[in-house]
Amino acid sequence: MRTIVVFFALLGLSFSQVFRMNLRKRDSLRKVLVRSGQWEEYMLARNKERASFAVGGFPQKVNDYSDAEYVGNITIGTPGQAFEVILDTSSANLWVPDAKCSGFISSIDACEKKHKFDQKQSSTYVRNGKSWNITYGKETTKGTLGNDTVRFGTDDKDLTVPKCVFGQATSIAHSFKSDVIDGILGLAFQSLAVDNVKPPFIEAIDQKLVKQPLFTVWLEHEGDKQNVPGGIYTYGAIDTSNCGAVIAYQPLSSATYYQFKLSAVALGDYSNSRGWEVISDTSTSLIGAPSEIVEKVAMAAGAKFDISLDLYTIACNAHISDLKLTIGSNTYGIDYENMVVPIDNGKCAIAMEPYRGGGFGPTWVLGDPFIRQY
């Protein structure tokens, strides 16, 4: 077993406990829309939005949750109101739908089937009232801020953090309508947070509620099974039950995302050592890379592009060479079990897709295939 640890480098503090949070593996938005025959329509609309957004010339940090699959349960308030959220290392805000969340003038009510937070039912709720909004492509999720107790789980023994500022969404982006999640719990650094809101885990560190200022992510490999146990987040310690010895620590090039340098990539007879900025992202179920690299890797693996899926497809029983990523002084191989992923009806694909970041920030996203392996 191997591990790479995601951690906050805060020193000189004393801490108390270690907490574990179970995950469940759910269908991604891509798989839901593929099965319903709506994926191509969704992709056309999304790419049109991205193109018009890029032409405007205004850089914006954009997170894309089309492939989020591993989700966790949290509660907010007293007594706790339960929500299913993405535990996301590429954003830093917590938000859930508010009781007033609706589609407004739109005929598409993305809030309709979500769990909603009712501040009137919480004895520990404190009104903040400041408005906030986060843009996903050209769509906006918005609402007001509140202050309440956040629990990383649903049990009294789970990590419980008083006085957390979070978003109460009165309107959410339409792209979340078909997704299984209610909201997002950001685990990145405060410098990435909209309105500089302190993320709940940073709040837990500052209140000295965890033994060490770090958390470990372990994702199970469940193949095409859905809504099954998917792994564990361990807050305040390295997970020695599921992970082996630490291979290395890699300095961050930016304390916003978990961003660092990738120096080389190779698969089969293809290799490239140009060097790139990458992030480790729990909310992406594939590996995102520049389109020319994805194309070359796919060709080396014997995969063919399927325009209807926007992915390179391959036989489900294909035993391809390891994808080799060089980070620091180590080369990390991602094997075929993590590189060949099921899509739908016996179709499989290479676990890579073009990452269209618009020219801003990192150019690679090391999602779940990398995290499952390490």
Question: What residues are annotated to the active site?
Answer: 88, 281
**Side-chain half-sphere CA neighbours of 258 within 13 A:** 26
Report the C-alpha gap between 146 and 16 in whole angstroms.
27
**Residue 76 contacts residue 122 (beta carbons within 8 Å):** yes
Do 6 and 258 meet the contact criterion of CB atoms below 8 Å apart? yes
Q: Which two tokens stand for residue 326?
A: 């060089």
Q: Alpha-carbon distance 357 to 257, whole Å?
A: 14
Please report, for the chain, how many H helices and E strands are present, in that order. 6, 25
Alpha-carbon distance 248 to 243, whole Å?
Answer: 13
Using the Cα atoms of residue 56, residue 59, residue 60 and residue 61 in order, give the sign of their dihedral. positive
CB atoms within 10 A of CB 206: 13
Structure tokens at 105: 């003038």
**Cβ count within 10 A of residue 120:** 7
Residue partners of 253: CB distance under 8 A and separation at least 6: 259, 260, 261, 277
Report d(CA 138, CA 230) in Å as an integer. Answer: 31
Please state, as a whole number, how many other Cβ atoms lie within 10 Å of the Cβ of residue 14: 6
